[in-house]
Amino acid sequence: MDSVLKFPTTAQAPLQELKNLFAAQQQAFQAEMIPSKAVRKDRLRRVELMTRKYADELAQTISADFGNRAPQLTMLADTMLVEAAARHAIKHLSSWMRTRRAPTALYFQPGSNRIMRQPLGVVGVIAPWNYPYQLALAPAVGALAAGNRVLIKPSELTPRFAALLQKMVAEFFRSDEMAVVTGDAEVGRAFSELPFDHLLFTGSTQVGRLVAQAAARNLTPVTLELGGKSPVLVHSSAEIEETAARVAHGKLFNAGQTCVAPDYVFVPKDKLQEFIDAFKRATVRMFPRIANNPDYTSIISERHYQRLRSLLDDAHAHGAQVIEINPEHETLDPAARMLAPTLVLGATDEMRILQEEIFGPLLPVLTYDKLEQALDYINRHERPLALYFMGSDMRARDHVLSNTIAGGVTVNDCIWHFGQEDVPTGGVGPSGMGAYHGEYGFLTFSKQKPVFQQPWLNGMFLLRPPYGPRFAMLSKVLKKLI
């Protein structure tokens, strides 16, 4: 396979070469606007083979970028999900590609309708650093299945991974099929300004707004996978010990650096201490020590580490109780960027920890007397990317689901709805727009083109001018048929 372009991580990146690569993909698409099922399956199989070949190296490289991250976590959250997505797409591709018949109103018959699913052209993917492989390749799977060309920009915060991804893709794909460009924020800005046929961005709401503004200048449609403050609502019917264990796992997976991680939790006031104690026990079982623990993930960068420390300092200064869970009472070296799991009690809206997406192992615990108090709080704030309900009362569950709006929901667990290929994944409002995964990703990166077929023998000539008594009579008939 021919090589892709590599950009130095400087503001003076060769942006003209980026444009040239984009133009080459456009030209390749024009030459093959509707790739066959065989071509698409071949590309999807190459994604699967590439993932399998480089799984171990991906785990090692991503861990090096973080400082420490368990290879098992990368397998679960990155490589395994990409393989599953590729296999799912291969299995269902024939059905997804099929042209659909559509109903035709009686007054347009004997004409008929059908819907063609066509690729859009060149799809751009701007991927984040937290699950760098999955959030680059899972959208690419949907785009390739739909018959598009794909250009990927990984995060500059994972430079080792970005270089490896570039090498991998160059080995398995021609650069006019799928390619990777690396570089700093300036390259990212130029990337978002290209006239893609669709652009998918995963990252913060703040940057998502900038990407949407840049894309709007080209009228490029966007899918924004953002974040926000995803709540856990613990109902009085919940079994607290297991609930706390599931919340702890969802919160501390990747040290909280997950867009759908629980951002804060609501518990009944009379269950507060029980939840705190159970959360501590669950955390200690998973992480009996923090320093030098191969299973515990480092914070990605010094800037993010200091931001999380400042959230805790601000909460403490405003009167919150901060409970650090450090089983061995270790002194954690700031250079290692290991931040202990921490509960924050008594948090209020004046504190930054309830204003900003946390994206780390810090968990505010709020209380409520009546369920409606928790629902009112959730609904007064921006719509979250995820919402979690814990409890066995199905009437309460249905009430919560009917009276909240969120990008996705897991009931009686955390984060797992994100891994489903048969349902859409996406945010709502400030937590994002659009969706992908499975057929929903295929449709996101496709144009559903309606085609009306008119037979030569039809009665539509009766509606042509000159208008007169005949038209008046026919219009009365049509109004009855509408």
204 close to 181: Cβ distance less than 8 angstroms: no
Between CA 203 and CA 432 the distance in angstroms is 10
Alpha carbon of 199 to those of 6, 103, 140, 168: distances in Å? 20, 32, 11, 22
Between CA 453 and CA 450 the distance in angstroms is 10
Cis, bond preceding 110 (omega within 30 deg of 0): yes
Cross-strand bridge partners of residue 390: 234
344 close to 308: Cβ distance less than 8 angstroms: no
Give me the phi and psi of 269, to 5 degrees please: -55, -40
| Active-site residue flag, 177 | no
Alpha carbon of 324 to those of 34, 248, 283, 339, 471: distances in Å? 56, 13, 11, 9, 80
Q: Max alpha carbon distance in the chain (Å)?
A: 93
| Active-site residue flag, 225 | yes
SS3 at position 376:
helix
In terms of Cα–Cα distance, which of 368, 5, 2, 388 is closest to 181? 5
Catalytic residue among 259, 357, 414, 421: 259
Catalytic residue among 48, 225, 421, 439: 225
149-153: strand order across its sheet: 178-180, 149-153, 122-126, 198-202, 222-225, 432-433
Residue 116 identity (one-letter amino acid): M
Between CA 398 and CA 421 the distance in angstroms is 23
Give me the phi and psi of 184, to 5 degrees please: -90, -165
Residues 6+ apart with CB under 8 A from 48: 83, 86, 87, 90
Give the residue numbers marked as catalytic.
Answer: 225, 259
